[in-house]
Amino acid sequence: MSTGAGIRHFDAALPNGITLACRAAGEGPVRALLLHGFPEAAFAWDEVLQRLAPRHAAVAPNLRGYVGSSAPEGDAAYRARHLVADLEALIARLTDGSGEPLPLLVAHDWGGAIAWNLAAQRPDLLRRLLIVNSPHPATFLRELRDDPGQIAASAYMNFLVRPDAPALLAEDDFRRLWPFFGGAAWLDEATRERYREAWRNDGRGLGPMVAWYRASPLRPALAADDAIHRVELPDEAVTVRVPTTVLWGERDVALRPGLLRGLERWVPQLDLRRVPEGTHWLVHEQPGLVAEAIAGQIDAALAGA
């Protein structure tokens, strides 16, 4: 894993009072914004940023609640509308308030949850979308209600929303977190130390990070009156009209293949690229493949394709 050579750091102070700690590489106008998931941080994109740098400038922020960025109190601060507002403001800053759309938004895992929402609600802000192993909200809702396999695969979410989850996850050198990565070959000691720093979170710990789970109703039901049974996602609210590429590692044990079924209903301009040997951690495993996919989408956006 790259140690981050050639990566620049800056803090993006947004009008809503949130500051996002950002990592960047490349010169000239920002062509892509890269969003991480849980339990990661922006450094997960470093090698991709470096591979893109000779051709395109890109930025990867630590999202709200993550290391170096603002972490407001209360679960309500992590609801989707606030996270989307952060992105709207960050894109405005990165495009110098020009009103020009960002060529490409790239997102993995929880970052994808925000990206799907932004693309559906504000298609004027971006030309293209690239998703890496992050389910569309409509298919995720369907599978969490109807598919026993996905319900079982997502059961960990109900652990993460427990009040004692942050303390339990931090015990014994984060013993319960390392298995999320499945014994990955890329997880060397230097990378582990970067994760430890991210999970210490400037002394705030994991609480703000798991608040994303507590603020969302999309998790397996434990009772008949759970919030997921009341969620309604009208097609017009979640349909993404911008050209969208979905890069999907098919060995993802947390997000099952059923999440891709019928996706074109909500993503009419869909380019689905399956990676048979890839897992959920495709950004770490195959940064070259991810960087090439990003560069290709930026080029297409700039060409007006």
pLDDT band for position 6 (cuts 50, 70, 90): confident
What local confidence, expressed as pLDDT, does residue 2 receive?
A: 39
What's the pTM value of the predicted model, to 2 decimals? 0.96
SS3 at position 272: strand
- The per-residue pLDDT for range 224-268, each reduced to its tens digit, is 999 999 999 999 999 999 999 999 999 999 999 999 999 999 999
Instruction: Look at residue 305 and tell me whether its pLDDT is greater than 70.
Output: no
Which residue in 109, 195, 252, 284 is the catalytic one? 109
**Does pLDDT of 276 surpass 50?**
yes
The model's confidence at residue 118, banded by pLDDT at 50, 70 and 90, is very high
Delimit the domains of the chain by residue range. 8-303
What pLDDT was estimated at residue 3?
42
According to the model, what pLDDT value does residue 43 have? 98
Per-residue pLDDT band at 175 (split at 50, 70, 90): very high
Q: Is 280 a catalytic residue?
A: yes
**Active-site pick, 36, 86, 213, 284:** 213
Ramachandran region of residue 214, left (φ > 0), alpha (ψ -120 to 50) or beta? alpha
Q: Is the pLDDT of residue 284 over 50?
A: yes
CB atoms within 10 A of CB 188: 10
| E strand residue ranges, 133-275 | 244-249, 270-275
Task: Out of 36, 108, 136, 280, pick the active-site residue.
Answer: 280
To the nearest whole number, what is the mean pLDDT of the chain? Answer: 96
Known catalytic residue at 229: no
Average pLDDT over residues 98-110: 95
Active site residue 213: yes
Which residues, including other chains, have CB under 8 Å from residue 188's CB and lie 6 or more apart?
A: 1
Task: Flag whether pLDDT at 1 surpasses 50.
Answer: no
Task: Give the tens place of pLDDT for each residue, 149-159.
Answer: 999 999 999 99
Q: How far is CA 294 from CA 74, 90, 92, 100, 146, in A?
A: 35, 19, 21, 19, 33
- Given this model, what pLDDT does residue 204 score? 98
What proportion of the chain, given as a percentage, has pLDDT over 90?
96
Q: How many Å apart are CA 170 and CA 162, to the nearest integer? A: 14
Output the CATH code of domain 8-303: 3.40.50.1820
Statement: residue 5 has pLDDT above 90: no
